[in-house]
Amino acid sequence: MNKNRSDLKTKLQVKDHFLSGELFNLLHDEELDMLYTDPVPEELAKYYESENYISHTDAKRSFVDRIYQMVKYWSVRSKMNLVESHVVGKKVLLDIGAGTGDFLLYAKKRGWSVSGIETNSSARALAKAKDLDLFKERPGGLIPKPTAISLWHVLEHLPDPKEYLKWIHTQLEEQGILIIAVPNFKSWDAKHYQSDWAAYDVPRHLWHFSKKSILELTNHHFFVEDIKPMVFDSFYVSLLSEKYRNGKSNLIRAFFNGLRSNMAAWSSGEFSSLIYVLRKR
C-alpha cells in the first residue's frame, strides 16, 4: 500500500460513470492482489457532491433508488443478526461511514448503545432528523469502547486503510469484532463487466480488494472468524453496470448476470461483495 505507484502496472482504465466522466487507471499491486485508483484527485470531496449519491440520501426518485432503499431496510436486519451472532459481552456499536443512520437506528431499537462517524454533512443531517448525532471525524475517547465496529462498504473510500485499521484496533474492546464489507474485484460480475463494473466507482473508491489483500491488511491486529457473501450486491451492481455499458438499465439481463455471478461464487467463494468478520487479537 505504501509502494511507489510508478512501479505498478495498469490493469484497467475506468471511467467515472457516476459523475465526472473522467478516466482513472487501476494499478495492480501483485503482492497484495489489490488495485489502486490513480491518480487520486486533490479535491476528492467534490466527487461525492451529488444529490444522486445514494448512500448519502434516502431518495426514492428512480427505479434504482427504490430498489436500493427497499433492500437497505431488509439488509439492516441481516447485518444486525450477523453482528449479534459474534459479539461477546456488552452491546456497544460504532458504525464508520454511517450514511443516513438506518443501521444504527435499527441497532438502537435492538438495545445497543450506538455511535457513528459520517463525513458527509447532508447524510449527517438526515441522521439527525432520526435522532442520531453522528461524528464528522473520529471521536477519540468521547465514546465507550465498542464491542463491535462496522464498515459497510467504507474501507475502499478511506485515504489510508492500514492506518485506520490500526486506530480501530486501539478502540475495540478486548475480544471485540470488526465487520468489513467491500466489493470483490475477483468476482464473476467484475470480470464480465470489466471497466464498466459499477463497483469500481472511481475515484470515490480509492482501493479495490481481493480476499488476499484484506487478509494481508488485517492479519497483524485481527484474525478472521468468518467470511460471508453479500448475495444481493451482484444484482444491484449488475443493474448499474448495464446502465454504464449500454446507456440504460436492463433489468432482465442484470438479474441473470447477477444470478450467474452468485452461482459461480458458490464454488469459487468470489462473491460480488464479501463481509469479513474479524476478531481483535
Structural domains of the chain sorted by starting position, each given as residue range(s) with its CATH number in brackets: 11-38+57-89+147-280 (3.40.50)
Asked whether the predicted pLDDT for residue 69 surpasses 90, the reply is: no
| Contact residues for 88 (Cβ-Cβ < 8 A; gap 6+) | 147, 175
Please, are residues 233 and 272 in contact by the beta-carbon 8 Å criterion? yes
Contact 1, 33 (CB under 8 A): no
Q: Each residue of 25-40: pLDDT tens digit?
A: 999 999 999 999 999 9
The pLDDT value given to residue 58: 58
Task: Please tell me which residue, 200 or 56, carries the higher pLDDT value.
Answer: 200
Give dist(CA 178, CA 155) in Å, integer: 12
- Average pLDDT value for residue range 248-264: 95
- In the sheet that holds 34-38, the strands lie side by side as 9-15, 23-29, 34-38, 207-208
What proportion of the chain, given as a percentage, has pLDDT over 90?
Answer: 84
- The answer to whether the CB of 164 falls within 8 A of the CB of 94 is no
Q: In this predicted structure, what is the pLDDT of residue 55?
A: 56
SS3 89: coil
Q: Residue 64: is its pLDDT beyond 80?
A: no
The answer to whether residues 150 and 241 touch, using CB atoms and an 8 Å cutoff, is no
CB distance 136 to 130 below 8 Å: no
Contact 83, 179 (CB under 8 A): yes
Strand-pair category, 207-208 with 222-229? unpaired
State the average pLDDT over residues 105-115: 96
Which residues are within 8 A (CB) of 100 and not within 5 positions of it... i.e. 6 or more apart? Answer: 55, 56, 57, 58, 123, 126, 127, 130
pLDDT of residue 143: 86
* Bridge pairing between strands 92-96 and 148-152: parallel
pLDDT, position 61: 58
Assign 83 a pLDDT band (cuts: 50, 70, 90).
Answer: very high
> Over the stretch 116-146, which tens digit does the pLDDT of each residue have?
999 999 999 999 999 999 999 998 777 899 9
